[in-house]
Amino acid sequence: MMQLENIRQEFPALAESVYGKPLVYLDNAATSERPRSVIRKWTEMTEKYNANLHRAVHRTAAVATEEYEAARDAVRAYLNAEFREEILFTSGTTASINLVASSFGEAFVHAGDEIIVCESEHHSDIVPWQLLCGRKGATLKVLPVDDSGHLRLELLPDLLTPRTRLMCVAQISNVLGLINPVKEIVTICHSAGCAVLVDGAQGIVHQRVDVRDLGCDFYAFSGHKVYAAPGTGVLYGRRELLEQMPPYMGGGEMIGTVRWSGSTWAPLPQKFEAGTQNIAGTPTLRPALEMAETLRDPAIEAEQERIKTFMLNALQGDARIRLYGVPAAPEEKIPLFSFSVEHSHHEDLALILDKMGIAVRSGQMCAEPLMDRFGVTGMVRVSFAPYNTLREAEYLIESLDRAIKMLQG
Amino acid sequence: MKSLKEVQAEVVDDFSMYDEWLDKYEYLIDLGRRLEAFPEDLKTEDRLIKGCQSRVWLDATVEDGRLYFRADSDAIITKGIISLLIGVYSGRTAREIADDDFSFVDQLGLRENLSPTRANGLASMIATIRQMAQNHV
């Protein structure tokens, strides 16, 4: 059993103060804090092993390349992917999804075809598909959510047609915090001959991910939300599909041969990794995922459950507050809570909480269609990481009450 | 009538009485609450200040070469900030406003105490007030 205090000491940013108050960092869904092991690797790569990858024969380049490829092995193992070449490094979830929109789109999406996204998707899992549909003359369809924020799965079979090429779904919504039934969605879509992309930006932090068990065709996530360096990201893609997809970007390292008469491509995964990669950042995925594994400790998970129960009771028990993403059972939700307060603007609340030392998010959370769905201009979001404490949740709720009283006079 | 600089100095003085930022917010919230009601039919797209996270409407009328501002926002702290600004500039000539350097805003400490998105909003409010004045010089 692990002591939460010991774990917190591994994340130096958690000891920071703001405005003379201890920082209570509850914006983890936007980006997580980073542990010392990640900071060490990041620094080490810059101080000692700075060389470009895969190209040179010298020793420093060899170490840099080993570290980079070791990260690929670590990600493969973490996701339980079958082959290491199914793991592509990108700059983040957004880049991963855009890669699929471009390359899968080029190979498989044609005029008159369809793509489905969920109403609760992040803009990063909406706009690339709008762009693709615009280029190809394809149609974008939307799977709606109900008033509690749950996907209306019963509508999915009717949305699917023989022309549906891809279904895009977040494993966990960044606004609602609800865990979507991805495995079920994959089964339904595959039986209709439709591929599935999973946006795992939030899922990778809070779920044990097994891409073979999920059965998805693509799984995208960002390093920076799961303790790794910013500007790192992953796209898992089934090898069979990746092999049929054209390159995303042309450039160095992604080629077989380059001739004026035409070029050929490098094998996977280099085919999709053109140009100089994130030399210092990507190797941090290895210690970051080790930390994610460490945090799956019974003591820490128990604290997370206490936070969730406390927060659900506090928010749902307050008549002034409207919670979005209401779980039927607590296990359907991660400790991420978006809400609005009657007669109080989300921005005012976030600003006052900030001065109390609490970092929260306010606004549209990159999910404007979902804001429209619930008839609001924005929400306040508090998102906990495994290193947050029940005491912090209690302080948040006390502070929120104080902020509401300030605003409502 | 006090000069623009005198009024600004008074506002800076009032605001600096509060040591704690939460108290400054209380003050802004109070200013926002006391702001004269803004006619609903003036809440048009062209009166919206661009670059703010919350919605801010600003309207100016001109009488005898002086500008009179009215404003509203759906966020109360923002409403307090715009109230503070138009309290300073309402009733001033277009020339006075256009020539002002708005440096009293820096003395309030608002810029560094607002998040960048909000600070951008503040910059947009100032730019809009200045532009409205320049249009009438």
pLDDT digits (tens, 9 = 90+) for B51-93: 777 899 999 999 998 999 999 999 999 999 999 999 999 999 9
Q: Is the confidence at residue B122, as pLDDT, over 90?
A: no
- A133 is a catalytic site residue: no
Which of B18, B23, B74, B117 best probes binding to A when mutated, by most A CB atoms within 10 angstroms? Answer: B74
| Residue A58, burial from CB neighbour count under 10 angstroms (0-12, 13-18, 19+) | exposed
> Distance, in angstroms, between A12 CA and closest chain B CA?
23
Q: Do B33 and A409 touch (CB under 8 A)?
A: yes
A172 close to A325: Cβ distance less than 8 angstroms:
no
| Residue B62, burial from CB neighbour count under 10 angstroms (0-12, 13-18, 19+) | middle
Q: How far apart are CA A270 and CA A286, in angstroms?
A: 19
Tens digits of residue pLDDT in A365-379: 999 999 999 999 999
CATH of A39-292, one of 3.90.650.10, 3.20.19.10, 3.60.20.30, 3.40.640.10: 3.40.640.10
Residues of chain A with CATH 3.90.1150.10: 4-30+297-408
Residues of chain A with CATH 3.40.640.10: 39-292
Residue with tokens 């932090």: A205
Q: How confident is the model at residue B115 (pLDDT cuts 50, 70, 90)?
A: low
ipTM: 0.88
> Distance, in angstroms, between B100 CA and closest chain A CA?
29
Q: How far apart are CA A382 and CA A320, in angstroms?
A: 17
What is the reported pLDDT for A201? 98
What is the reported pLDDT for A1? 55
Question: Which residues, including other chains, have CB under 8 Å from residue B68's CB and lie 6 or more apart?
Answer: B60, B61, B62, B90, B91
Q: Do A345 and B75 touch (CB under 8 A)?
A: yes
Q: Which of A19, A344, A406 sits opposite B26 (nearest CB)?
A: A406
**Does the domain spanning B4-135 belong to CATH 3.90.1010.10?**
yes
A19 Cβ under 8 Å from any chain B Cβ = yes
Instruction: Give the chain A residue whose CA is nearest to the CA of B55.
Output: A377
Q: What's the CATH class of domain A4-30+297-408?
A: alpha beta
On chain A, the residues whose CB falls within 8 A of the CB of B33 are: 409
Tens digits of residue pLDDT in A53-82: 988 889 999 999 999 999 999 999 999 999
Q: Do A351 and B33 touch (CB under 8 A)?
A: no
A20 Cβ under 8 Å from any chain B Cβ = no
A255 close to A264: Cβ distance less than 8 angstroms:
yes
Instruction: Give the chain A residue whose CA is nearest to the CA of B78.
Output: A348
- Phi, psi (rounded to 5 degrees) for A94: -60, -45
